[in-house]
């Protein structure tokens, strides 16, 4: 995405990285302006996919994040072809051991349990470690009376772990049910994309569910959804934040710029810090 110097390019005298090209409208944007705008394109409003580090950086009070379970990493239980190699490559590429990063931190001074997904690690896919980390995060919320907030970004369950990854769907939902029993608020934010086994489990059972604008939200992959569209009158945007809102699946489509305030307002509404729903 970084703008590269090229022969004959009018910007070729500018230093590398001064501009970025918006992946949606393809226009050039000053990288400083882009970052200051929370990676939202000032020309078209496109929300760039964020890494876990970027997401935590714009969401939490500075210096408040304390990571949990940072050493958990997947094994290769099925001996799936090239799974170990893929894991190793993504660990080296991202510096993470799993797409889900969990811990505690503050939003406007209120302590929360937070999990964020990083799509750059195996497409944010949910394997045994992701499920375990989400469950432990919810248990931390239970034990310490902390609201639980998750930012999702995933293609779904991780096929390389087969049924073990699918088991994470009921497992995370069972942990979520324990939050309901003691009225601890649970907030989920769909970011681009939130799909399949993640959408169909812990992501869709929150007290408050929001999505970033134009995020892909759905269950079926592109080929299946295109077939559905050609065989039916399904609208083009049926796997999107906006369609989800129109049809009552989520509570709001919220710009990244307004997300922290929205979450903070909900925590105040729930009488946090320290209170319960
Ligand atoms: Zn743009």
In order, the DSSP letters of 39-66 are TB-TTT--B----HHHHHHHHSPTT--E
Of the candidates 59, 276, 259, the residue with the CA atom closest to the CA atom of residue 179: 276
Å from CA of 69 to ligand 1 middle: 36
pLDDT for the residue 223: 72
Are 193 and 154 in contact, with CB atoms under 8 Å apart?
yes
Contacts of 31 (CB under 8 A, 6+ apart): 2, 17, 18, 19, 20
Å from CA of 168 to ligand 1 middle: 36
Of the candidates 31, 51, 53, 56, the residue with the CA atom closest to the CA atom of residue 41: 31
Å from CA of 30 to ligand 1 middle: 12
Residue 4 in this model has a pLDDT that exceeds 50: no
**Spatial separation of the C-alpha atoms in residues 273 and 110, rounded to whole Å:** 6
Å from CA of 11 to ligand 1 middle: 18
Contacts of 101 (CB under 8 A, 6+ apart): 52, 56, 67, 70, 115, 116, 117, 118
Split at pLDDT 50, 70, 90, the class of 273 is: low
Residue 276 in this model has a pLDDT that exceeds 70: no
pLDDT in tens, 200-253: 999 999 999 999 999 999 887 777 777 776 777 777 788 899 999 999 999 999
Å from CA of 158 to ligand 1 middle: 31
Å from CA of 194 to ligand 1 middle: 21
Å from CA of 89 to ligand 1 middle: 30
pLDDT for the residue 8: 42
Catalogue all structural domains in the chain, each as residue range(s) with its CATH number: 1-48 (no CATH), 49-269 (3.90.226.10)
Q: What is the distance between the terminal CA atoms of the chain, rounded to a whole angstrom?
A: 43
Å from CA of 109 to ligand 1 middle: 33
Å from CA of 191 to ligand 1 middle: 17
Å from CA of 22 to ligand 1 middle: 5
Å from CA of 48 to ligand 1 middle: 9
| Average model confidence (pLDDT) across the chain | 88
**Range 245-253 contact pairs with CB under 8 angstroms and sequence separation of 24 or more:** 245/211, 249/204, 249/209, 249/217, 250/190, 250/209, 250/210, 250/211, 250/217, 251/208, 251/209, 251/210, 252/210, 252/211, 253/210, 253/211, 253/212, 253/213
Which two three-digit tokens encode residue 101?
A: 């990063």
**Using CB atoms within 10 A of its CB, is residue 224 exposed (0-12), middle (13-18) or buried (19+)?**
exposed
Å from CA of 20 to ligand 1 middle: 10
pLDDT in tens, 7-50: 444 444 445 568 888 989 999 999 888 999 999 999 999 999 99
Higher pLDDT, 114 or 77: 114
pLDDT for the residue 277: 45
pLDDT in tens, 128-181: 999 999 999 999 999 999 999 999 999 899 999 999 999 999 999 999 999 998
DSSP H stretches of helix in the chain? 31-36, 52-59, 83-94, 128-144, 162-166, 168-181, 196-199, 222-231, 241-246, 256-269
Å from CA of 192 to ligand 1 middle: 15
Å from CA of 41 to ligand 1 middle: 5
């Amino acid at each position: 995405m970084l703008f590269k110097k090229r022969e004959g390019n009018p910007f070729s005298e500018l230093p590398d990285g001064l501009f970025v090209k918006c992946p949606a409208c393809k226009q050039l944007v000053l990288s400083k302006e882009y970052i200051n705008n929370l990676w939202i394109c000032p020309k078209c409003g496109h929300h760039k996919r964020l890494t876990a580090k970027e997401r935590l950086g714009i969401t939490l009070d500075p210096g408040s994040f304390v990571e949990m379970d940072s050493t958990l990493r997947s094994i290769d239980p099925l001996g799936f072809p090239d799974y170990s190699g893929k894991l190793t490559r993504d660990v080296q590429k991202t510096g993470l051991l799993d797409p889900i990063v969990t811990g505690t931190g503050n939003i406007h001074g209120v302590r929360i349990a937070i999990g964020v997904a990083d799509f750059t690690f195996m497409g944010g896919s949910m394997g045994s470690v992701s499920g375990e980390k989400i469950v432990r995060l919810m248990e931390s919320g239970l034990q310490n009376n902390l609201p639980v907030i998750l930012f999702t970004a995933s293609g779904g369950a991780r096929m390389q772990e087969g049924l073990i990854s699918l088991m994470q769907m009921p497992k995370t939902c069972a942990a979520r049910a324990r939050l309901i029993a003691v009225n601890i608020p649970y907030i989920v934010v769909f970011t681009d994309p939130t799909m399949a086994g993640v959408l169909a489990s812990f992501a869709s059972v929150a007290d408050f569910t929001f999505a970033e604008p134009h995020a892909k939200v759905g269950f079926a992959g592109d080929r299946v959804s295109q077939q559905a569209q050609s065989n039916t009158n399904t609208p083009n945007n049926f796997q999107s934040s906006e369609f989800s809102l129109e049809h009552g699946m989520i509570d709001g489509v919220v710009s990244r710029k307004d997300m922290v305030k929205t979450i903070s307002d909900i925590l105040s509404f729930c009488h946090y810090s320290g209170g319960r729903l």
